[in-house]
Amino acid sequence: MKKKDEGKVDKVIDKLSESFEDNRLSTKKTDLLSYSHDYWPISLHWMLEDKFPSIPNAVVWPEDKEEVKEVVRWCYKGRVPLYPYGGGSGVLGATVPEKGGIIIDLKRMRSLQVDDQDLLVEADSGLNGYYLEDSLNEEGYTMGNIPQSLYPSTVGGWVGTKATGQFSTKYGGIEEMLKGIEVVVPPGKILNFKPHPRTSTGPDLRKLFVGAEGTMGIMTKGWFKIWPYPERRIKLSYASERLEDAVESVRKVMRRGAEPAVVRIYDEMETKRHFYDHEDIYGKIATVIIIEGDEKIAEVEREIVEEEFIGEYKGEGPVDHWLETRFNVKEASEFVPMGVVFDTIEVAVNWSNAEELYERVIESIKPIKGVLFASAHASHFYPQGICFYFTFAGTPPRKKDAESFYQQVWSEAMKAVIGSGGTISHHHGVGRQRKDWLEDELGGGLKMLKDIKEKIDKRDIMNPGNLGL
């Protein structure tokens, strides 16, 4: 940050420190370093190399919408960059404060209220994902949004990134759950879009903040659809000879209108990696399925799955194994410090191009010098298509640094996705990693998005640089 800009930030920090007592505004180095990265492998790599190219000047923790408004107002006045921050579990650098400025961490805003008759929960944006779902379960409900990052993520981050959970095939993505939203936009205005079952009142402005990744405003709370806690849960698993068989089976299930909550199909390599204690399915394609909800509806869905599935039935064991291990993530912390480059890329595609996309992405990554493996599972399903979640690992060849090796893999994968008619992200978002492919993705609409952002945020304070905006 330039010297003259440092002066502007200091003035804003001085102003804020008049209202935010010591423990709710920090300029301590340890805090600034903690907020300089998220789970984006590039930003984790910076830390290993002892490089900190993006450090904020301060972190502030508001407790209500009025305080959020005050922070936005001062940052706008002083032209200081402001980065909304939930759990910092994003994987694409969306909270990396690339231009310095202030991080606004919403985690102190965490109340919730259930409306049983309307089946809605009103939730503050800083509410922790696990806490929300656990509280709902205790009261006899579920929201059904269970991302693998349930423990470290927040409601505001879910909306900001347009997240989806492991149970999305029944409950949908966060955009389908969100019924109303309250946001603070520059120069410091509160907008309140009330929840309705549906409304036909012009373009839906709520959606402007879903997936905006902190570039349009700050969500302070939202109203979300909830469901009665499922009275019945049915666990099924299959081993198929070919990936196409499993994929085709699920396509037919979805076409008939059945909606299992969880469906996950693992390619041969991932079957072995994930189901290490089920040797009988090595060399096959494992599928785990959970059907849940009303007893009678669940039984009908089970019949549909049993009628359509091409593969050998393997009972509940693999599903129990998946349930026990589904939050385990150790690759980044175990392998990255050893110099292994590791990441995941989730994309979506219509059924008609699903097979081609899977093959092309795997074939685009594998031949890259240094790649150790590329594999995938399919984790979210729709009557129209499927989400593939690719994983790759490798060690950069000599004379190539980790960052350019990483970007080479990403670039080849993105080209293969676009070339096979897919979308470059299913649920992680764009952040700072995918921004260069957004133009292609939006079919000529990037300029319009930039214009909208400019109108809302004339001084470009909201998460500048994210999404390439």
For position 143 contacting ligand FAD by CB under 6 A, the verdict is no
The piece of 114-122, 148-156, 224-232, 315-323 that touches ligand FAD (CB under 6 A) is 148-156
Please identify, using beta-carbon distances, which residue of 218 and 319 lies nearer to ligand FAD.
218
The piece of 50-58, 143-151, 231-239, 296-304 that touches ligand FAD (CB under 6 A) is 143-151
Q: Which residues contact 344 (CB under 8 A, 6 or more apart)?
A: 91, 389, 390, 391, 392
CB 355 within 8 A of CB 247: yes
Return phi, psi of residue 235, to 5°: -115, 125
Return phi, psi of residue 73, to 5°: -60, -45
Q: How far apart are CA 18 and CA 12, in angstroms?
A: 10
DSSP state of 259: -
Minimum Å distance from CB 110 to ligand FAD?
Answer: 11
CB 321 within 8 A of CB 277: yes
For position 425 contacting ligand FAD by CB under 6 A, the verdict is no
Minimum Å distance from CB 430 to ligand FAD?
Answer: 9
Of the candidate residues 427, 432, 434, 453, the single one contacting ligand FAD (CB under 6 A):
427
Q: How far apart are CA 330 and CA 118, in angstroms?
A: 40
CB 114 within 8 A of CB 137: no
Of the candidate residues 42, 58, 60, 94, the single one contacting ligand FAD (CB under 6 A):
94
Task: Give the number of other CB atoms < 10 A from CB of residue 56.
Answer: 29
Q: How far apart are CA 186 and CA 217, in angstroms?
A: 7
The piece of 58-66, 111-119, 145-153, 272-280 that touches ligand FAD (CB under 6 A) is 145-153
For position 466 contacting ligand FAD by CB under 6 A, the verdict is yes
For position 141 contacting ligand FAD by CB under 6 A, the verdict is no
Residues 260-319 that bind ligand FAD (CB under 6 A): none
For position 158 contacting ligand FAD by CB under 6 A, the verdict is yes
Of the candidate residues 106, 120, 305, 336, the single one contacting ligand FAD (CB under 6 A):
106
Please identify, using beta-carbon distances, which residue of 57 and 149 lies nearer to ligand FAD.
149
Q: How far apart are CA 222 and CA 154, in angstroms?
A: 12
- Using CB atoms, what's the residue nearest to ligand FAD? 157
**Structure token pair of residue 280:** 């009988």
For position 182 contacting ligand FAD by CB under 6 A, the verdict is no
# residues near ligand FAD by CB under 6 A: 37
Please identify, using beta-carbon distances, which residue of 235 and 264 lies nearer to ligand FAD.
264
For position 100 contacting ligand FAD by CB under 6 A, the verdict is no
- From residue 65, how far is each of 29, 62, 345 by CA, in Å? 27, 8, 35
Q: Which residues contact 46 (CB under 8 A, 6 or more apart)?
A: 36, 37, 52, 53
For position 147 contacting ligand FAD by CB under 6 A, the verdict is yes
- DSSP string for residues in 86-116: SSS--SS-TT--TT--EEEE-TT---EEEET
Please identify, using beta-carbon distances, which residue of 81 and 311 lies nearer to ligand FAD.
81
Minimum Å distance from CB 269 to ligand FAD?
Answer: 20
Largest CA distance in the chain: 69
Please identify, using beta-carbon distances, which residue of 38 and 248 lies nearer to ligand FAD.
38
CB 292 within 8 A of CB 232: yes
For position 101 contacting ligand FAD by CB under 6 A, the verdict is no
Q: How far apart are CA 338 and CA 130, in angstroms?
A: 31
Of the candidate residues 26, 43, 57, 125, the single one contacting ligand FAD (CB under 6 A):
125
- DSSP string for residues in 343-355: EEEEEEEEGGGHH
Please identify, using beta-carbon distances, which residue of 156 and 394 lies nearer to ligand FAD.
156
Residues 37-66 that bind ligand FAD (CB under 6 A): 38-39
The piece of 28-36, 54-62, 85-93, 233-241 that touches ligand FAD (CB under 6 A) is 85-93
Q: How far apart are CA 341 and CA 201, in angstroms?
A: 48
Please identify, using beta-carbon distances, which residue of 69 and 314 lies nearer to ligand FAD.
69
Q: Name the strand (E) or helix (H) holding 373.
A: strand 371-381
For position 463 contacting ligand FAD by CB under 6 A, the verdict is yes
Site for ligand FAD, rule CB under 6 A? 38-39, 83-91, 94-95, 106, 125, 147-149, 153-154, 156-158, 160-161, 163-165, 213-214, 218-219, 329, 427-428, 463, 466
